[in-house]
């Protein structure tokens, strides 16, 4: 992790390289191909001048947790740097589905029927098809978004049958006070029995463990950009 007392902008390219080394090592330990794991650099709260050096260092996939914040800073960065992919990793209100489908290449927080309906409508209207993940609330935390594990199979069936949505995978955020491994294992198990290939799991503190449990998308913020 970068030293939080140091200026962040100058340290982020070397922090990115260190995260990349850790991902390589985790893939090698898990006997997985590095190409199976997408690193999402989570740039929430950081301004364009902190993001530009990370783009210059070669990173192209970024994550944001708020539609309005992403809309304010990313269109210009995307126009200036071809090949950027933007992932929405935070909760999405149905009334922002239009903007989300227009801006993001992936949405990791599909978690209720009303949002499915709004997304299906916008995907058809805009003919844009962001990759979709259903968020699973593996810790069944009342304050956290996501589908309860026991409801996941039925919700995934509804996404497909009632809304015509193609869901590519699952996302989870383990409770902060628990070991993440059982949560990653549970998410992987639900995905496997539903024929889903993509697993969005693992953050700065636990992405190596997540890779061990099959993560295909790791969402890493502070280990790259410094503390928020």
Ligand X SMILES: *Cc1c(COP(=O)(O)O)cnc(C)c1O
Site for ligand X, rule CB under 6 A: 42, 44, 65, 89-90, 173, 203-205, 219-223
Which CB atom, from 200 or from 212, has the smaller least distance to ligand X? Answer: 200
In contact, 64 and 70? CB cutoff 8 Å: yes
Helix (H, G, I), strand (E, B) or coil at 63: strand
Nearest residue to 102 (alpha-carbon basis) of 119, 115, 117, 90: 119
| Nearest distance, CB of residue 82 and ligand X, angstroms | 25
Which CB atom, from 89 or from 159, has the smaller least distance to ligand X? Answer: 89
Which CB atom, from 46 or from 163, has the smaller least distance to ligand X? Answer: 46
| Nearest distance, CB of residue 218 and ligand X, angstroms | 9
| Nearest distance, CB of residue 165 and ligand X, angstroms | 20
Residue 88 C-alpha from the chain's centroid = 6
Q: Which residue is nearest to ligand X (CB)?
A: 221
In contact, 223 and 41? CB cutoff 8 Å: no
- 70-78 contacts, C-beta under 8 A, 24 or more apart: 70/103, 70/104, 71/99, 71/103, 73/47, 73/48, 74/103, 75/103, 76/48, 77/48, 77/51, 77/52
| Nearest distance, CB of residue 162 and ligand X, angstroms | 26
Which CB atom, from 107 or from 127, has the smaller least distance to ligand X? Answer: 107
How many Cβ atoms sit within 10 Å of the Cβ of residue 19?
A: 20
| Nearest distance, CB of residue 89 and ligand X, angstroms | 4
Which CB atom, from 65 or from 168, has the smaller least distance to ligand X? Answer: 65
Nearest residue to 226 (alpha-carbon basis) of 20, 40, 44, 39: 44
| Nearest distance, CB of residue 127 and ligand X, angstroms | 28
Which CB atom, from 214 or from 226, has the smaller least distance to ligand X? Answer: 226
The rounded distance, in Å, linking the Cα atoms of 160 and 178 is 32
């Amino acid at each position: 992790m970068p030293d939080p007392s140091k200026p962040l902008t100058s340290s982020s390219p070397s922090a990115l390289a260190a995260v990349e080394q850790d991902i390589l090592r985790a893939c090698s330990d898990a006997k997985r191909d590095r190409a199976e794991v997408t690193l999402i650099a989570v740039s929430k709260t950081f301004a364009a001048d902190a993001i530009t050096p990370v783009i210059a260092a070669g990173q192209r996939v970024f994550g944001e947790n708020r539609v309005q914040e992403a809309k304010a800073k990313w269109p210009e960065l995307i126009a200036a740097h071809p090949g950027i992919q933007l992932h929405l990793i935070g909760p999405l209100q149905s009334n922002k589905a239009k903007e989300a489908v227009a801006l993001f290449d992936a949405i990791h927080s599909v978690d209720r029927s009303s949002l499915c309906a709004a997304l299906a409508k916008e995907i058809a209207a805009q003919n844009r098809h962001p990759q979709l993940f259903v968020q699973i609330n593996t810790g069944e935390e009342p304050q956290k978004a996501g589908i309860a594990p026991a409801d996941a199979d039925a919700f995934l069936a509804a996404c497909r049958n009632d809304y015509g949505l193609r869901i590519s995978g699952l996302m989870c955020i383990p409770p902060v006070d628990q070991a993440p491994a059982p949560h990653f294992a549970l998410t992987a198990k639900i995905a496997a029995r539903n024929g889903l290939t993509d697993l969005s799991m693992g953050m700065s503190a636990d992405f190596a463990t997540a890779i061990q449990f099959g993560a295909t998308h790791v969402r890493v913020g502070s280990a790259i950009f410094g503390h928020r």
